[in-house]
Amino acid sequence: MVMESYVRKIELDGACNVRDIGGYASADGGSVMRGRLFRADGLHKLSEADRGELLGRGVKLVIDLRSDHELAAKPNVFAQSAELRYRNISLLNPALPETASPRTLGDLYVSMLDGAGEQLREVFGLIAIEPDAVLFHCAAGKDRTGVVAALLLQLAGVEDRAIVADYAETGLNLAPVMNELRADRPEAVPADLYEMFLGSDPSNMETMLAHLHSRYGGAEPYLRSIGVTEAELASLRNKLSGV
């Protein structure tokens, strides 16, 4: 029996958008395995109790999707931890010119799919070979994290409407720290544009999923196209379904 009421959000003192991506209904009538994959916002303010909570849930690999600049400004509390493995893979499209500005977040997500295949291939390869629970995160747990979460859920057979809803939940979760996020706006970015990019309008994820289906045929063929092997795909399915 699939429990749609499963509480995915993990309440922590130092982060507000930490969630288990398990519990969603999948196309085969089952549900995504709980306690295997977690998505999160920045971990730089985690308390000792917060760290203990995540370690207690079995997290043994943290994948930090932020840039070098972000790491320097807000170091990850797990970066030097002896209790788990930590990897940093910057997930902004390296092919996107610094002067180019995507018109919407949906455009940004599409650019990640099309231009950051090497980085995404590394992320999914790490998740595939990790026997224990994995947590992946960026700054807000919305954009880079949202792309990875969407691909995982789509691979698990979760309906697009549920993937979009999972993405949009970030808007509610980030409300307590929105002023802090606004304070991080680069001077070169206009305030109105930055405000739009802080949002999590469902249309952004709908744009990305439409592109994923129309250009690649879904998450599985997309992951194959960037070099994820059949053995890794099988491992990912196992992590998602528990089979």
pLDDT at 143 over 80: yes
Contacts of 229 (CB under 8 A, 6+ apart): none
Average pLDDT over residues 5-17: 88
pLDDT at 191 over 60: yes
Tokens of 184: 């991080």
The tens digit of pLDDT for each residue in 50-84 reads 999 999 999 999 999 999 999 999 999 999 999 99
Sheet architecture: strand order including 133-137: 19-20, 37-40, 133-137, 59-64, 85-88
| Confidence at 5, pLDDT banded by 50, 70, 90 | low
Contacts 24+ apart (CB under 8 A), 85-89: 85/60, 85/61, 85/130, 86/61, 86/62, 87/61, 87/62, 87/63, 87/126, 88/63, 88/64, 89/63, 89/64, 89/65, 89/119, 89/122, 89/123, 89/126
Contacts of 41 (CB under 8 A, 6+ apart): 15, 16, 17, 18, 137, 138, 139, 140, 141, 142, 145, 173, 174, 177
pLDDT at 185 over 70: yes
Query: Which of 16-30, 51-65, 90-104, 203-217 bottoms out in mean pLDDT, i.e. has the lowest?
Result: 90-104
15, 133, 138, 153: the active-site residue: 138
State the chain's mean pLDDT as an integer: 91
Tell me the C-alpha distance between 29 and 39, whole Å.
Answer: 23
| Confidence at 3, pLDDT banded by 50, 70, 90 | very low
Q: What is the pLDDT of residue 1?
A: 34
Annotation marks residue 138 as catalytic:
yes
Tell me the C-alpha distance between 156 and 215, whole Å.
Answer: 19
pLDDT at 236 over 70: yes
Which one-letter DSSP state was computed for residue 164?
H
Average pLDDT over residues 165-185: 86
Query: Which of 29-38, 186-195, 203-212, 228-237 bottoms out in mean pLDDT, i.e. has the lowest?
Result: 186-195
All domains in the chain, ordered by first residue: 19-93+102-241 (3.90.190.10)
pLDDT at 43 over 90: yes
| Confidence at 2, pLDDT banded by 50, 70, 90 | very low
Q: Is the pTM of this model over 0.85?
A: yes
Contacts 24+ apart (CB under 8 A), 89-95: 89/63, 89/64, 89/65, 89/119, 89/122, 89/123, 89/126, 90/65, 90/66, 90/119, 91/65, 91/116, 91/119, 91/120, 91/123, 91/138, 91/144, 91/147, 91/148, 92/67, 92/116, 92/144, 94/119
Q: Could you tell me which residue, 28 or 63, shows the higher pLDDT?
A: 63
| Confidence at 242, pLDDT banded by 50, 70, 90 | low
